[in-house]
Amino acid sequence: MTDSIVRARVIEYLAALSAHDVDRIVACVTDDFVNEHTSALGSTSTGRETYRGRLPAFLGQFDNLRYDVVDTIVEGDRAAARYRMTAMFEDHALDIPGVMLFSTRDGLIAQRTDVWDSLTFLRQTGMAPE
């Protein structure tokens, strides 16, 4: 798979998240998709259908959720995307930087590892002191 195809899939995936479009999101991932979170507030799941089942609750927590891609690096079937996630969460404006690492297979995302700081989220929502 070419770097441009991998980059396009990653950009499409993040755009689908920003659009709150569950069908479009899961169309980007493999049946055995691994959704890994390194943040203490996140949790990992395996399988496209498990991921599909979790997406409505995740997306429902955030108004105006948006993932803006700051930079991407692609090498073969792997990619890294630095992003800024912005949203409203219970009347609190969020602006959280992070990095997603992707492994792709046959034009789809097989694994996503999301790296972001839980403390930033807790501080921006008033759940932890500055």
Q: How far apart are CA 65 and CA 119, in angstroms?
A: 19
Query: Residue 2: what pLDDT?
Result: 86
The mean pLDDT of the chain is: 96
In a domain, 100, yes or no: yes
User: What is the CB-side half-sphere exposure of residue 86 using CA atoms within 13 A?
Assistant: 6
Residue 44: domain span? 3-124
pLDDT at 1: 67
Task: Kindly state whether residue 129 falls inside one of the protein's structural domains.
Answer: no
Q: Is the pLDDT of residue 75 over 80?
A: yes
pLDDT, mean of residues 17-45: 96
Query: In total, how many domains does the chain have?
Result: 1
Give a yes or no: residue 113 inside a domain: yes
Predicted pLDDT of residue 129: 83
Q: Please indicate, yes or no, if residue 130 is contained in any of the structural domains.
A: no
pLDDT tens for 4-24 read 999 999 999 999 999 999 999
Q: Is 63 a member of any domain? A: yes
* Type of residue numbered 15: A
